[in-house]
Amino acid sequence: MPFELPALPYSAEALEPHYSAKTLSFHHGKHHLAYINKTNELIAGTKYAELGLEDLIRAAKTDGNAGLFNQSAQIWNHTFFWNSMTPKGGGAPTGEIATAIDAAFGSYADFVAKFKAQAAANFGSGWTWLVAKDGKLEIVNTSGAGTPLTEAGQKALLTVDVWEHAYYLDYQNRRPDFVQAFFDHLANWSFANANLKG
């Protein structure tokens, strides 16, 4: 079955003013869709065509099929990113994720500062992730389409897309301002808590 563009978990205007409908409509309707269309093109008539998305990404990585890995991992990463945001989200988390953040980073404020610094240091296009690794939280950068999905022992909890297409219309070159707005207004801590438990 060809892959299809998943619907956003909220309306295109729902994250304004922190993430504009214009950015979201391009990012979801053009960029995310392009990764889906390209993946469908690449797998048609191949051994990959019957695989679910996660198995497909892992197979492409194992096979060294960089073209297919890049397109398919970007499908997964973007769906994960939409779910990492929610209208009226952000602010200090509650639940298990709050305890785990304090244990790993000292405080929520220290965590946000470290995440911002790491996102700023992610050279070029990539992703900055909060992951659980061996029972402890870590902030990791991936480059291009890189994803914790294919990293042994890592469970993705929350992500920020730091490709310029993710924020340039709203924040121009100010990536740290985008990351700050993400944590002040958008971060979906329910999603992170569910991932931590799952």
The contact set with Mn ion (CB under 5 A) reads: 161, 163, 166
Nearer to Mn ion, 79 or 193 (CB): 79
Q: Please identify the residue of the shown chain whose CB is closest to the bound Mn ion.
A: 161
Nearer to Mn ion, 1 or 7 (CB): 7
Q: Tell me the three state secondary structure of residue 131.
A: strand
| Host H or E run for residue 155 | strand 154-161
Task: Give me the least distance between CB of 194 and Mn ion, in Å please.
Answer: 22
Nearer to Mn ion, 166 or 192 (CB): 166
Q: Tell me the three state secondary structure of residue 20.
A: coil
Task: Give me the least distance between CB of 176 and Mn ion, in Å please.
Answer: 18
**Rounded CA separation 23/111 (Å):** 26
Q: Which residues lie closer than 8 Å to 44 by C-beta, 6 or more apart?
A: 2
Contact between 80 and 127 under an 8 Å Cβ cutoff? The reply is no
Q: Which phi and psi (to 5°) does residue 157 adopt?
A: -115, -40
Task: Give me the least distance between CB of 27 and Mn ion, in Å please.
Answer: 6
Task: Give me the least distance between CB of 127 and Mn ion, in Å please.
Answer: 8
User: How many residues are present in the chain?
Assistant: 198
Nearer to Mn ion, 105 or 167 (CB): 167
Task: Give me the least distance between CB of 161 and Mn ion, in Å please.
Answer: 4
Contact between 76 and 53 under an 8 Å Cβ cutoff? The reply is yes
Measured from the Cβ of residue 6, the count of other Cβ atoms closer than 10 Å reads 14
Nearer to Mn ion, 130 or 196 (CB): 130
